[in-house]
Amino acid sequence: MDKDDVLGIASRRLSDAITAFQPLLYDPLTISPWLAMSLLQKAIRRGRRDLALRAAATLLHASPERLWRRLGCIALEHIGVGISVR
């Protein structure tokens, strides 16, 4: 398989995924952004997808920049940089 085939396949798959995308709608919680940031991290750590999504919706509504900063911190703390050293 050459490079053009791989890019064509990836392009078609991406196009199909975008066409089929249905956004999830979650109601924001009536809590402060600080509580939402804490809840987001704890919910992710404990595998509580429902609470994590509602906390994220709260932050996205109240303070989007805090959501993206917190997600970056959570990714580094719980997942790591993921650098492979040879």
**pLDDT of res. 76:** 87
Looking at residue 26, its pLDDT comes to 86
pLDDT along the chain (86 residues), means of 10: 77 92 85 96 94 95 93 85 60
Give 67's contacts (C-beta < 8 A, 6+ positions apart).
Answer: 40, 56, 59, 60
Joined tokens for residue 62: 């109240």
Instruction: Say how far apart CA 54 and CA 35 lie, in whole Å.
Output: 12
Q: What does the pLDDT read at residue 85?
A: 56
For position 4, what pLDDT does the model report? 64
pTM above 0.75, yes or no: no
Domain ranges of the chain: 3-78
